[in-house]
Amino acid sequence: SAVISQKPSRDICQRGTSLTIQCQVDSQVTMMFWYRQQPGQSLTLIATANQGSEATYESGFVIDKFPISRPNLTFSTLTVSNMSPEDSSIYLCSVEEFLVRRDTQYFGPGTRLTVL
Amino acid sequence: AQKITQTQPGMFVQEKEAVTLDCTYDTSDQSYGLFWYKQPSSGEMIFLIYQGSYDEQNATEGRYSLNFQKARKSANLVISASQLGDSAMYFCAMREGDTDKLIFGTGTRLQVFP
């Protein structure tokens, strides 16, 4: 499967600031997704990152708070804007490769964010 | 109603023994997929095994097998010959119909002891 990297791996930020998380894949992939995992919780899909167009957001998540870019088939960014302590979570990107294994999502190592 | 239910918050198993992690799901779609992921303390999510709703055979991947009982809507993960490195959180997930979205259960923390 594709090798997925995320930057930064972890960060501690002040409330009111923004952080951009990068997701890089070593091969072109069809689908890219962003998930959030709040402390002690399960994963929740934030949005699907669409190449060349606006991301598709899930209920409860909005573009102003979580702007997403996907300029090509190997790269995407998620920005967490105007952060509050409630944004402290692990943020994970995932990818799906139709030619490798259809329907299966593979995850990056995650970005552990703490907001003070 | 919960789409994915994992009723075991924690499980213990002795090294080299087998363990079953429970997962039940709720969907009205005929076409769906069921997944198990492992999350070590490092936080990454590792794909373990996949079962499609139309698959007639239970999925197997090395020491992992999925006990798929469609009528009971259960998709239990069986880990054979447990190893200390199997200690982690395990999440069951489902993908319904043509959607891309994975719906995750609350997870089971497995601890393997010597």
Whole-number pLDDT of residue A99: 60
Q: Do B106 and A42 touch (CB under 8 A)?
A: yes
Measured in whole angstroms, the distance separating CA A49 from the mean position of its chain's CA atoms is 9
Q: Do A41 and B52 touch (CB under 8 A)?
A: no
pLDDT at residue B63 greater than cutoff 90: yes
Using pLDDT thresholds of 50, 70 and 90, give the confidence band for residue B1: low
**Average pLDDT for chain B:** 94
pLDDT at residue A79 greater than cutoff 70: yes
What span, in angstroms and rounded, lies between the C-alpha atoms of A29 and B1?
33
In order, the DSSP letters of chain B are --SEE---SEEEEETTS-EEE--EE----SSEEEEEEEE-TT---EEEEEEETT--SPPEETTEEEEEETTTTEEEEEE-S--GGG-EEEEEEEEETT----EE---EEEEEE-
Whole-number pLDDT of residue A103: 76
- Chain A residues with CB within 8 Å of chain B CB: 1, 31, 33, 37, 41-45, 48, 58, 90, 92, 94, 96, 101, 103-110, 112
Q: Do A107 and B43 touch (CB under 8 A)?
A: no
Cis peptide upstream of residue A8 (ω within 30 degrees of 0): yes
pLDDT at residue A101 greater than cutoff 90: no
pLDDT in tens, A59-75: 999 999 999 999 999 99
pLDDT in tens, A18-63: 999 999 999 988 889 999 999 999 999 999 998 888 899 999 999 9
Strands A56-57 and A111-115: unpaired
In A, which residues are within 8 Å of B42 by CB distance?
109
Q: Which residue is closest to B105 within chain A, CA to CA?
A: A42
Whole-number pLDDT of residue A53: 84
Of B45, B50, B107, the CB nearest to A107: B45
Q: Which residue is closest to A31 within chain B, CA to CA?
A: B100
Whole-number pLDDT of residue A102: 65
